[in-house]
Amino acid sequence: MTPADDASPTRPTPIERARRWLRAHPQTVPQTIQELRATSRNSPPIAHTTITPTLVQGPGASADGPEQTPAEWVLAPDADPDRRILYLHGGGYVTGSPGTHRNLTSRISAASGMAVLALDYRLAPEHPCPAAIRDTVPAFAWMTANGPNGPGKASAAFIAGDSSGGGLAIGAMVKIRDLGDRQADAAFTLSAWADLTLSGKSWQTRADEDLMTSRAFTDRLIEWVLPGGLLTNFPLISPVFADLQDLPPLYLIAGDHEVFRDDTARLAALAHMMGVDVREEIYPEMPHVFPAFPDLPESKQVMAKIGEFLRANLPAVWAERPATDQERQHEEEP
């Protein structure tokens, strides 16, 4: 049965409600960054959360950035503060914040039983590429040594992100590997934007199905993200062109009705070719970052699978704790 099979005239299905939300908030090509951010601020949230975050003043410091990069800890009830996930929000590198993605980070914390550190990295055009990478790498190092309760070594450390944050997560791990620093134990991405050359075939084959993103809109983002002279195939921001050898296990998720579909497929193929333990799942009929829509059955399935994936990749010495009641509830959801 497809997500639309149980439609009725009186009660739209979860996927139709998601599509209605997307149609009601089209991404028109903005003339200025102020226009785009105003539109983003005025859009109603997809879903609300009841988890109150804990603000953090300073996870790490980048060489060319502020002494402290803002962030927030998000902990579901019973989450283990020593098991930590650095989460990188989407928004095309020019919009978004931990606050806009609190629905996702709260549900990820609940599904995994782990603490989520949502990073408020610097945005373009004020801070073009590679500012986001330079904020993310030290923030991950900071997270491995600091938790929601203060200084303390992480028993497990992961990286994740959606859309541009997904590409940023992969690029950050490439940089961490090159520096020889402590690497993430595993990572997952949701609809990663991993190719700023926009050369994936899904830009043509999925253009009519994608209700969120257009080529003209994305071209405008790229103008803001990349300073003059920096190529769109720069590996740390377009990791489909990166050397992915020796990266940790990856779980790459996307919807089939999005123009970024092939970014995930190509990342998975490249990672597999380079010997990385990679798991790829592309969900039929699903839109960009569909796990953000909590009513979708597929969203609930993904959350449960994310929790399973992260726990399966805990360092062996820390893997003995049984799942909490909340984690088991997510695993049992259809």
CA distances from 319 to 152, 268, 312 (A): 18, 26, 8
CA distance 54 to 39: 27
* Cβ 69 vs Cβ 139: under 8 Å: yes
Nearby residues of 297 by Cβ (< 8 Å), 6 or more positions away: 3, 14, 334
163 as an active site residue: the answer is yes
Distance, C-alpha 115 to centroid of its chain = 15
* Cβ 145 vs Cβ 116: under 8 Å: no
- The catalytic position among 40, 62, 109, 163 is 163
- The catalytic position among 89, 101, 127, 288 is 288
Kindly tell me the burial class for residue 275, based on how many C-beta atoms sit within 10 Å of its own C-beta (0-12, 13-18, 19 or more): exposed
Closest-CA residue to 123 (of 140, 98, 106, 142): 98
40 as an active site residue: the answer is no
- Beta strands (DSSP E) in 21-162 are 54-56, 71-74, 80-88, 114-119, 146-147, 150-151, 156-162
288 as an active site residue: the answer is yes
- The catalytic position among 62, 191, 258, 327 is 258
- Catalytic residue numbers read 163, 258, 288
